[in-house]
Structure 1
């Protein structure tokens, strides 16, 4: 007989796996539209996250240098970690992903992000692990 707590743990594991699959599917869809392999984009994603932007605007201004940790908006509102390892719900809702890439790319790069850039950022963030 399966213990109730074991069943709950197994179901939670399935939920986390499904969320990781969603993020990977989104990353791979962007990469396919860009005609590249997502695995090759990890360094490009880190570069874009850390150094991309114009003037004072860059991703780390709100999301911090460590995307496994909370960030803050310019008005001090908490932003959940960007790395899926620290925030399994990240990159699971395509509409939200498009909304935030649209808004943040315009703020940071003064233009829309390309599919390649979106795939690169997601690939890098998915490669990060949380600190113990």
Structure 2
């Protein structure tokens, strides 16, 4: 961390970083469109989303039994089926289901649950941004 000439400047720098993080979090939580959610995830990640990386993430096993595509299908434009319960899952791609990624709280809830199933941990903001960026490119 760079040295600051005074404690006051250091505190101001820390406060500015905290405010930037809160603004990014608020943007993701208040979003009402996939584009707004994507912008929030990208801001949290401090990196541009990469759809190709999102597609690879979606279709790859990450050391656990399931992949995202295990339940959501590949490509995710038709009704999927939960791998263990068989419960139907509406299409994930926004082109096939305009309701997807319009509720920030619901999006976070399902990313948290599904990432835990697939990764054994929560997804990072960069992973969410990459997957959502790819899903936004998927056509019916």
Q: TM-score band, normalised by the shorter chain?
A: 0.7 to 0.9
Q: Which has the larger radius of gyration?
A: 2
Deviations 1:53-93 (A, max 9, x none): 22321111111112011100121111011100000000000
RMSD of aligned alpha carbons:
1.2
Pairwise mapping of residues 41-56 of structure 1 onto structure 2 (< 5 A)? 41-56=50-65
Aligned to 2:39: 28
Alpha-carbon contact 2:51-2:130 (below 8 Å) kept: yes
Q: Give the Cα separation in 2 of the matches to 1:128 and 1:121.
A: 11
Alpha-carbon contact 2:77-2:91 (below 8 Å) kept: yes
> How far did residue 97 of structure 1 move?
0.4
User: What TM-score comes out, normalization by structure 1 length?
Assistant: 0.78
Alpha-carbon contact 1:27-1:123 (below 8 Å) kept: yes
Q: Which runs of 5+ in 2 are unaligned?
A: 1-31
Pairwise mapping of residues 16-95 of structure 1 onto structure 2 (< 5 A)? 22-38=33-49, 41-73=50-82, 74-95=84-105
Q: Which runs of 5+ in 1 are unaligned?
A: 1-20
Match of 1:105, SS state, is helix
The runs of at least 4 aligned residues of structure 1 exceeding 6 Å deviation read none
Question: Higher helix proportion, which one?
Answer: 1
